Structure 1
Amino acid sequence: MTRYEKGIQTIINDCLGVKKGERAIVVCDTPKRKIGTDLFDNLVKSGCDASLFEIMPLRQHGEEPPKYVADLLKQAQVFLIPTSKSMTHTEARRNAVKAGARGATLPDVTEEMIAGPMLVDHKEILKRNNKLSRLLKGTKKIIITSKKGTDVEINAEGRHFHEDSGYLVKPGSFSNLPAGEVYAAPYEGRSSGVVIFDASFSGIGMLKEPISIEIEKGRASRIKGDRGRLSRMLDVAGYYGRNLAEIGIGTNDKARITGFVLEDEKVMGTIHLAFGDNSNFGGKVKADVHLDGLVLKPTLIADGRTIIKDGRLLI
């Protein structure tokens, strides 16, 4: 058995814990056809009443899929969504979970990810995430700095820090896969500073040069270094596309910087910030976009306590 095949089985058996006879659906798009088919085949081998649907790629991360896809997801008990454009922050995915389905999105997933960080010790991630979320519980002010010039203050007052650990056995449970982060929605309109993104960004990939974003009153007010590409992607969603939507901390010790944000944001000791929609994890903003960017070797101080020092997680 190859590492890739083992990773596929880990998703089906360990993360989802599928049971014989469960209604399961895989929604993939054309670029992710092989991975979608491999997941479907393993669901069938596990005895699921499985279906596979392929759609054309969506235009951007966070765009709603066709209505028939949303309806199918709500009828499933288990879902997997390996697509080139993320459906994580969509009403279709949210409504499926509200209806009791459990599952995962795998936006822009690669075979290398399934053969790599997907094979992490999920029990260790669970322990690490539990400890980190407890440390961050009740945090009001987060300061993030980096030697490349990041200096931003984020207001997280009243916001819950969620754990993405990859365990999806309970109805209504949801995760990105590969898993490994703790994240929250900053309080809208109350964060400010400058962030230097120096690894990768959703919709762009590996950055050839850093992107600098100035944040004022919880929004990206000025963006430099992207030749206008990121600005255009965010502005498609209008005013709320520039909302500071998420702060996340990577906790997967098997993840590596690859240029694919799904894996990059899980790299232990990194920080990612996202812009756009945060309505499905405690925020108040709905937008048809959610784009994440990575900060390498950050220092993070939460209410005076250092949690990360130059990229090293201190827990």
Structure 2
Amino acid sequence: MSEALTGPELVALVRRVFQPRPEDKALAILVDLPDLHVPDDAGWIERRAIAQAWADTLNAHRHELGLETRLVVYPNVHTNNGDLPERAWIHAGGPLPSADSLDPAASVSFAELYAGHPILIALTKFSATAPLKLAAKTHPIRAATMPGFRSDMIPALRLDYTEVNRRVNLLKELLDRAEGAAFRFGTPDGPCELFVDLRHRTGHASGGLLPAPGAAGNLPSGEAYIVPYEGERDGDPSRTAGVMPVQFGAEVVRYRLEGNKALEVVSEGPKSREEAAHLAKEPAYGNLAELGLGVLAAFGVKPIGEILLDEKLGLHLAFGRSDHFGGQVGPKDFSGPEAVIHIDRVYVPETQPDVKVLSVDLAMADGSAAPLMRDGAYTVGF
């Protein structure tokens, strides 16, 4: 690991993010395990090592923190934001087991885990954000999800999250008052325009603070986000429509959206054909599930190729599952558990250099347009 948090820094992080209460007695650090279906990789190995190091360090400071920390493992679920398995294993120490060597008799249900561990940190390969958000609605937990976390993200854990939180809440308030968002993108093949319907929705603030039970969110954090209206009200279809460009390598794929769904790909190329086939096979993949507004680029944070951090830098749009954010599309809408996905596309120069965010304007309830972005930068006075 190129960088590590010290014991005092870890204690301060847990206190700042979760603000533990006297009745909180234990914290669980979750890791998912590789299997024959999804083999191990270097980043996953490092992430599990970080989880073990954090568990050991926090336990060394348990009297100072006031919490016991337990490392908890479970078999990976093969996809981002898929439902968690029914059982988990509290690790007794030593080398971590493999997924196929877990003893069912030694497991606990996730409901039992939540009952005894009101604070959770998920240092996983596959995002557990969606299932933990849903679990937080029925269990008094608060969970920080860190899918794909790497040691080079550690500087982002040291930011001034009071200021991050202030900016995120300002953006959330704008999303709350908006009824739509009009995008104009520049691409090598010409401009693309997209309108996103934000009626009947309110925004969410993910500013890196989770002090109250019933909440789950990413860490590092720093975004306001909202689920576009998906047309679930009788006689009131979604007005989301237009063309959304996404750069994959040297190719810019252009999706045509109508009724908040990507119905077809209107560009040409290998990736365009691949994405068109994916839409045909999994229509729920094309659901526009999120409009997100990250703020961390203003703090000097650069993308590193991991969505956990990169999406917090600036504008992002996501396809797929939305029920964990208050939307309508969930696992039932996909062909199977392993097909469930929520995938963010991040619009900053380093991640999509050939797609320019020329403008974003919010359509307000009174009919006015409020400028939000020009040439990739916020026009909001922070």
| SS, match of residue 173 in structure 2 | helix
Which residue matches 1:284? 328
Provide the alpha-carbon RMSD of the alignment.
Answer: 2.5
For residue 154 of structure 1, the aligned residue among 196, 199, 206 is 196
| Further displaced range: 129-138 or 151-160 | 129-138
Distance 1:180 1:234, change over 3 A: farther
Deviation at 1:159, TM superposition (A): 0.7
Q: Structure 1, residues 253-308: CA drift from partner, whole Å, max 9, x if none?
A: 343222211111111xx311111111122212213321111123522100111111
For residue 240 of structure 1, the aligned residue among 258, 268, 284 is 284
* 2:189 corresponds to 1:186: no
Answer whether contact 1:27 1:83 (CA < 8 A) is retained: yes
Deviation at 1:73, TM superposition (A): 4.4
- For 1:226-305, list aligned pairs within 5 A: 226=271, 238-252=282-296, 253-254=298-299, 255-267=301-313, 270-287=314-331, 288-296=340-348, 297-298=356-357, 299-303=359-363, 304-305=369-370
Q: What is the CA–CA distance in structure 2 between the aligned matches of 1:260 and 1:234, rounded to whole Å? A: 24
| SS, match of residue 329 in structure 2 | coil
For residue 85 of structure 1, the aligned residue among 126, 134, 142 is 126
Answer whether contact 2:114 2:139 (CA < 8 A) is retained: yes
Answer whether contact 1:234 1:289 (CA < 8 A) is retained: no
Amino acid at match of 1:25: A
Distance 1:256 1:194, change over 3 A: same
Deviation at 1:157, TM superposition (A): 0.5
Structure 1 length normalisation: TM-score? 0.86
Q: What is the CA–CA distance in structure 2 between the aligned matches of 1:181 and 1:133, rounded to whole Å? A: 9
Q: What is the CA–CA distance in structure 1 between the aligned matches of 2:280 and 2:120, rounded to whole Å? A: 30
Q: What is the CA–CA distance in structure 1 between the aligned matches of 2:144 and 2:261, rounded to whole Å? A: 29
Q: Structure 1, residues 221-276: CA drift from partner, whole Å, max 9, x if none?
A: 2245536555676777x432321111101111343222211111111xx3111111
* 2:369 corresponds to 1:309: no
Q: What is the CA–CA distance in structure 2 between the aligned matches of 1:196 and 1:103, rounded to whole Å? A: 33
Which residue matches 1:197? 246
Identity of aligned residues (%): 25
Amino acid at match of 2:85: P
Which residue matches 1:215? 257
Q: What is the CA–CA distance in structure 2 between the aligned matches of 1:33 and 1:289, rounded to whole Å? A: 23
Answer whether contact 1:159 1:187 (CA < 8 A) is retained: yes
- For 1:67-216, list aligned pairs within 5 A: 67-69=86-88, 70-75=110-115, 76-90=117-131, 92-114=132-154, 116-148=155-187, 149-188=191-230, 189-198=238-247, 207-216=249-258
Deviation at 1:72, TM superposition (A): 4.5
Q: What is the CA–CA distance in structure 2 between the aligned matches of 1:264 and 1:72, rounded to whole Å? A: 34
Q: What is the CA–CA distance in structure 2 between the aligned matches of 1:314 and 1:24, rounded to whole Å? A: 40
- For 1:23-102, list aligned pairs within 5 A: 23-30=26-33, 31=44, 32-44=47-59, 45=61, 46-69=65-88, 70-75=110-115, 76-90=117-131, 92-102=132-142
Q: Which consecutive residues of structure 1, in runs of 5 or more, have no partner in the other structure?
A: 201-206
Q: Count how many residue pairs are aligned between Structure 1 and Structure 2.
A: 302
Which of the two has higher C-alpha Rg?
2
Q: Which consecutive residues of structure 2, in runs of 5 or more, have no partner in the other structure?
A: 34-43, 89-109, 231-237, 332-339, 349-355, 364-368
Answer whether contact 2:120 2:143 (CA < 8 A) is retained: yes
Answer whether contact 1:146 1:310 (CA < 8 A) is retained: no
Q: What is the CA–CA distance in structure 1 between the aligned matches of 2:217 and 2:128, rounded to whole Å? A: 12
| SS, match of residue 149 in structure 2 | coil
Structure 2 length normalisation: TM-score? 0.72
